[in-house]
Amino acid sequence: MLRRPATGSGAAGAPEAWPGGAPLRWRLAGLTFAVVTFAVGVITFLSYWTVSTGLTSGVDSDLDRKATTLLERAKDPMYLTHLDSEIRNFKSYSPDTRVALSPPGWAFTRGDAIPVGGEYHDVGDGFSTAVYTTGGERILTKTDSLGAMVVIARDMDETHRQMAALGMELLGIAALGVLLAIAAGLIVATAGLRPLQRLQKAVDHVADTDDLRPIAIYGDDALAQLTRSINAMLGALQESRRRQAELVADAGHELKTPLTSMRTNIELLMMLNRPGAAHRISEQDRHDLERDVMAQMTELSTLIGDLVDLAREDSADTVLEAVQLDEVIASALQRVRRRRSGITFDVELVDWDVMGEELALARAVVNLLDNAAKWSPTDGVVRVHMRQLSDDRVELSVSDSGPGIRPEDRARVFERFYRAPEARSQPGSGLGLAIVKQTVERHGGAVRVEDSEDGGTRFLVELPGRLRVNARPG
């Protein structure tokens, strides 16, 4: 039974914790808070910079427009005769502005003493301007092609107060955004982790109760895909347990029969070895009993070997290598010929390479050949033919001249321990064909059974691979 490891006093929060860190809820909330806070900070900075730049640009545009007007009026001689009063009138309409004017051809300026500085830029139509800030004033200098120059200074205190007020408002908005970010982080973390917590509880239930039923799936998002993967894992585990339970039950049943018979015969032989009991049975019967015991031991040994092979086939810890299938079949034929000397084998092979496990493939081929030879009559023929189906598929056909298999039994001949009624009088464990099917499918192939040409049985095995380079002509 699966058991969850104890989590100690903090078990209630353990499902949300990351290894060696804070609970996942707080990490997700913190991440959301950081992202939202960063976004609010960037938006606040950009808003302040945009508005402050716009205010400064507005001041520059207003100064440039006024400077252009003064330069145009400076071309009028009547305007120059009353220049001082014109400057005073201009300043009366713009009390926060200072101005200095140098008409065309003048070597001095009239009006306020304003320092001239900044880098001049040609703005077209013969005008050049220079703008800079000093002493809390925004100063614009503009000249025309006739040599006239206007210097206008605007006090920026009011603009700075507006920008400071805007900054405070934006800071307040940013602070509110941070608070909302904290709340949003907690809400997102709680809502986002709720499905994960539900899945965690379902997995814990499986671990605590050993109940391998599928977990309910909600939606079609990434978490639903994860749940499907967990359900697939649970299904594979449940199937593995079912097969394990079936193997144990079937093996126990199959082992019980030879063990019981062997025990009975051994107890009888032990009784006959007691003083005065030897005359109760003939010598021939004693030899028959001993022969039966040896046969039962052989049967038991074969069954145990088949079980070990089957368990090895179930294991995924195998190393694949290039296997010459035709050489494996030829070697298996030599072994079977020694045991079935009265059987003729008609063989046609193709030079074929398979990626797989050589010992497993050899065991499967021996089982097929043994089965065909066992059911063929004396002086019968077993036909072993290989033919290439495509560039990457080959078919191995093993046919015998035996009584054949009834159609209703063909679907079950590859089941573990299954033996048809007419086969129960023959020696065998009922595992040979199951090992064949499992080995072939593990190597990416398929096996099926049908009638042979002479009424016997033909097993057809299809395997992937490729024709060996420099293969001999078939």
Q: Per-residue pLDDT averaged across 398-416, rounded? A: 82
Q: How many CB atoms lie within 10 A of CB 82?
A: 11
| pLDDT top residue among 96 and 281 | 96
234, HSE (Cβ side, Cα atoms, 13 Å): 20
Q: Does 161 share its domain with 287?
A: no
Question: Is residue 9, in this structure, part of any structural domain at all?
Answer: no
Domain holding 199, by residue range, is 20-211
Question: Is residue 8, in this structure, part of any structural domain at all?
Answer: no
Asked if 339 and 370 touch (Cβ cutoff 8 Å), the reply is yes
Helix (H, G, I), strand (E, B) or coil at 376: coil
Q: What is the CATH number of the domain that holds 308?
A: 1.10.287
Over the stretch 206-239, which tens digit does the pLDDT of each residue have?
A: 778 777 777 787 777 777 788 888 888 888 888 8
Question: Is residue 400, in this structure, part of any structural domain at all?
Answer: yes
Q: Does 285 share its domain with 326?
A: no
Q: Does 189 share its domain with 302?
A: no
Task: Determine which of 125-139, 246-260, 345-359, 441-455 has the lowest per-residue pLDDT on average.
Answer: 246-260
Longest dimension (CA), the chain: 164
Q: Does 78 share its domain with 207?
A: yes
Q: Per-residue pLDDT averaged across 102-118, rounded? A: 80
Q: Does 41 share its domain with 182?
A: yes
d(CA 318, CA 356): 9
Q: Order of strands across the sheet with 457-464?
A: 344-348, 381-390, 393-399, 457-464, 446-451
pLDDT of residue 471: 54
Indicate the pLDDT class of residue 265, thresholds 50, 70 and 90: confident
Question: Is residue 66, in this structure, part of any structural domain at all?
Answer: yes
Give the torsion through C-alpha atoms of 248, 250, 254, 257, to 10 deg: 90
In this model, does residue 251 exceed pLDDT 90?
no
Q: Does 151 share its domain with 46?
A: yes
Domain total in the chain: 3
Q: Does 204 share its domain with 288?
A: no
Assigned token pair, 279: 């005359």
Q: Does 344 share its domain with 299?
A: no
Angle at 50 between CA 46 and CA 53, to 5 degrees: 135
| CA 149 vs CA 104, 105, 223: distances in Å | 8, 10, 73
pLDDT of residue 242: 79
In this model, does residue 430 exceed pLDDT 70?
no
Contacts made by residues 325-329, CB under 8 angstroms, sequence distance 24+: 325/352, 325/353, 325/354, 325/361, 325/386, 325/394, 325/396, 325/463, 325/465, 326/350, 326/351, 326/352, 326/386, 328/358, 328/361, 328/362, 328/365, 329/365, 329/384, 329/386, 329/396
Which phi and psi (to 5°) does residue 391 adopt? -65, -25
Packing angle, helices 325-339 and 358-375, rounded to 10: 40
Q: Does 189 share its domain with 49?
A: yes
Choose the final residue of a domain: 314, 338, 364: 314
Choose the final residue of a domain: 279, 299, 314: 314
Whether this model's pTM surpasses 0.75: no
Q: What is the CATH number of the domain that holds 338?
A: 3.30.565.10
d(CA 105, CA 77): 12
d(CA 123, CA 276): 138
Residues in contact with 46: Cβ distance below 8 Å, sequence separation at least 6, in sequence order:
none
DSSP string over 296-335: HHHHHHHHHHHHHHHHHHH------EEEEHHHHHHHHHHH
Assigned token pair, 242: 């079912």
Q: Does 251 share its domain with 399?
A: no
Choose the final residue of a domain: 211, 237, 270: 211
pLDDT of residue 17: 45
Indicate the pLDDT class of residue 424, thresholds 50, 70 and 90: very low
Question: Is residue 240, in this structure, part of any structural domain at all?
Answer: no
Question: Is residue 394, in this structure, part of any structural domain at all?
Answer: yes
In this model, does residue 20 exceed pLDDT 80?
no
3-state SS record for 137-177? EEEEEEECCCCCEEEEEEECHHHHHHHHHHHHHHHHHHHHH
Q: Per-residue pLDDT averaged across 116-140, rounded? A: 85
Q: Does 327 share its domain with 196?
A: no
d(CA 225, CA 222): 5
Strands 97-102 and 110-111, how do they pair? antiparallel
Q: Does 418 share its domain with 395?
A: yes
* Alpha carbon distance, N-terminus to C-terminus of the chain: 56
Q: Which of 157, 159, 158, 134 is nearest to 57 (CA)?
A: 159
pLDDT of residue 327: 94
Question: Is residue 239, in this structure, part of any structural domain at all?
Answer: no
d(CA 400, CA 374): 9
Question: Is residue 11, in this structure, part of any structural domain at all?
Answer: no
